[in-house]
Amino acid sequence: MPTALQKVSASFAPQRNLIGGEWRKSVSSETYASTNPARTSDIVGHFPFSTKNDVDAAVQAAAAAYPSWRRFPTPQRGTILRRCADALTAEKEPLAQLMSREMGKTLVEARGDVQEAIDCAHLYAGFARIFGGQTLPSELPDKAAFSQRKPLGVCGLITPWNFPIAIPSWKAFPALLCGNTVVLKPAEDSPACASAFGRVLTKAGVPLGVFNIVHGDGEHTGAALVDHPDVSAISFTGSSQTGKIIAEKCGRSLKRCSLELGGKNAQIVMPDADVPLALEGAVWGAFATAGQRCTATSRLLLHEKIHDAFLDRFIAAASTLRLGDPLNQRTQIGPLINAAQRERVSDYIRIGANEGATLRQGGKAPGGKLKSGYFFEPTIFADVSANMRIAQEEIFGPVCSVMKFKDLEEAIHVLNETKYGLSSSIYTRDVNSAFVAMRDIEAGITYINGPTIGAEVHLPFGGVKQTGNGHREAGSAALDFYSEWQSVYVDYSGKLQRAQIDTE
Ligand code: UN1
């Protein structure tokens, strides 16, 4: 990578916590290194390993900023969000380059990630002038009734590395619009992106203490945030395993929590599908971001009539994808995020082979120059049956399990036969099949003639079953999580009017 680019990245992301508008070291002075997954000798920066005391300081700063932020007129909060959109737009390229370097998605995808954050800021800035409740008739004379939304207080946001700017924005912008203040605990694999995001927000005029960042791991820093008595709500995106721990902790203190967890998304290809289109969709859905999206296509369900020919073309397309440095414009697939993740993906290759699936493409880390990072070849398993672990468990890597089906009913049954229900897709030219799929698929997101990835920020995002706990991010749905309803009755009759009491 050119040195000039490194300079841009380093100065762009303060290697500290953001607390009350100041960039502070951890009280422990302990730090950890964030490295480039495509070239592990390249250290992006050293970030604080925050303790309970740092988390407490951040929550106190957020709590201190809350009373005035809560009373800021909502349209003015919207104006600040619009400035955030403008500042993110101005910094889009350095942010995208930093992201490619720190977490390995290709530059075009990294630009898309920043664009999602920009779109999200515009969306909630727009909501600022229509954010409100309902005016309703009262049962009684001379009495008014309406409802209004109120903020929750301090919201703790715990975010993953795979969308290191988009996901913090999905959580922070609706939270801020509703009048909450925020403490963000970003993933330890993408701290520079989070710091850069914080720097842009601060520059855009988000008042001191309204948006705070504490770096660190989940076990210590994240747990301290979840356990903090002055945090009113937790929004988490990550693994189902961690999600269950967070839900349990929040349950004990009745803290509101939103969980966005795993997926095992499938694309169905019907015999009447536009085959080149379905093929392009499958390649992009399965291998973009090296399969490290919770919406990635990790199962491909092919009708028996087209199965063999489609599979051959899928293998041919996957085998020509160019792996390499994500900052290189020609690269199509970047590395996995870290050594542990590459180990996990390799384990699933062994598991699939032992279960009797046929490895038709990839299945290993490439050699040569690519040994400098955590690369893994795009991998395809064929002859997969629905109960195999590679068809049931989230792998979070460039691995796609291909299955054969006889008719639409069987395809939908197999698609639904996992504990998850995030995204789904069907390629068909038959309108009846499309509507049956929309009716019977159990998933929070369904695409017709599009891949399982690519959700837009103004629609609800989230899944059913063990993908989450019933909340949705993005769109107007996120506002329901970050606010409470207050029903207000104004009796202007001047006398006691008893509701629901029968009178003669
Ligand atoms: C995720 O992987 O957690 O729909 C989010 C998509 C992206 C978001 C993915 N817009 O693929």
Q: pLDDT by residue (tens digit) across 294-326?
A: 999 999 999 999 999 999 999 999 999 999 999
Nearest Cα to 409, choosing from 265, 264, 263, 268?
Answer: 268
Answer yes or no: is pLDDT of 6 > 70: no
DSSP structure string for 145-158:
EEEEEEE-SEEEEE
* Residues 269-299 pLDDT 10s: 999 999 999 999 999 999 999 999 999 999 9
Contact residues of ligand 1, CB 6 A cut-off: 116, 162-163, 237, 293-295, 453-455
Give the phi and the psi of residue 36 in degrees, each rounded to 5: -80, 120
Within a 13 Å sphere around the CA of 285, how many CA atoms are in the beta-carbon half? 32
E runs forming strands in 368-411:
379-382, 399-405
Mean pLDDT computed over 335-346: 98
DSSP 174: H
Q: What is the pLDDT of residues 117-133, one digit of tens each?
A: 999 999 999 999 999 99
Q: For a ligand 1 pocket test, name from 258, 294, 459 the mutation site with the most ligand atoms within 8 angstroms of its C-beta.
A: 294
- 47: pLDDT strictly greater than 50: yes
SS3 of 256-322: EEEEECCCCEEEEECCCCCHHHHHHHHHHHHHHHHHCCCCCEEEEEEECCCHHHHHHHHHHHHHCCC
For residue 15, report the distance from its CA to the centre of ligand 1, in Å.
Answer: 27
What is the reported pLDDT for 10? 54
Whether the CB-CB separation of 202 and 13 falls below 8 Å is answered with no
Q: Which residues pair with 18 in a beta bridge?
A: 23, 213
Q: What is the pLDDT of residue 499?
A: 87
| Beta bridge pairs of residue 382 | 358
For ligand 1, atom 3, the nearest C-alpha belongs to 294
| Residue range 153-205, pLDDT digits in tens | 999 999 999 999 999 999 999 999 999 999 999 999 999 999 999 999 999 99
Question: Which residues are known catalytic residues?
Answer: 294
pLDDT over 90 for what percent of the chain? 95
Is the separation of the CB atoms in 82 and 120 below 8 Å? no
At residue 504 the predicted structure's pLDDT band, cuts being 50, 70 and 90, is low
Of ligand 1's listed atoms, the one at least distance from the Cα of 445 is 4
Mean local confidence (pLDDT), 379-385: 98
Q: State mean pLDDT over 88-107.
A: 97
Ligand 1, residues 99, 114, 295, 461: which to mutate, most atoms within 8 A of Cβ? Answer: 295
- Which token pair is 278? 């379905």
The yes-or-no verdict on residue 410 having pLDDT over 70 is yes
Looking at the predicted structure, is the pLDDT value of residue 64 above 60? yes
What DSSP letter does each residue of 450-492 carry, written as one string? Answer: S-S----TTS-B--SGGGBSS--BSTTHHHHHSEEEEEEEEE-
What's the rounded mean pLDDT across residues 211-225? 97
Per-residue pLDDT tens over the stretch 202-215: 999 999 999 999 99
Mutation to probe ligand 1, out of 236, 261, 293, 298 (largest number of atoms < 8 A from CB): 293
For the cut 90, the answer to whether the pLDDT of residue 13 exceeds it is no
pLDDT digits (tens, 9 = 90+) for 454-495: 999 999 999 999 999 999 999 999 999 999 999 999 999 999
Q: How far apart are the CA of 321 and the centre of ligand 1, in A?
A: 21
287 CA to centre of ligand 1 in angstroms: 13
Residue-range domains of the chain with CATH = 10-261+468-487 (3.40.605.10), 265-448 (3.40.309.10)
